[in-house]
């Protein structure tokens, strides 16, 4: 069970880091699109 929990936590960490990277990127992209239009 320990292996499953640790891999699950790793998955949550991965999703969290992806969120931290993707959110600023997507907001910057939308800002660029808005400024272009």
1-37 confidence digits (pLDDT tens): 577 778 889 889 999 988 899 999 999 989 988 787 7
pTM over 0.95: no
The gap between the terminal CA atoms of the chain, to the nearest Å, is 53
Cα dist. 14→2, 5, 11, 18 in Å?
A: 18, 14, 5, 6
Residue 4, pLDDT score = 72
């Amino acid at each position: 069970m320990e292996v499953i929990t640790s891999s699950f936590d790793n998955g949550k960490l991965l999703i969290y880091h992806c969120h931290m990277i993707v959110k600023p990127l997507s907001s910057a992209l939308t800002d660029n699109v808005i400024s272009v239009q």
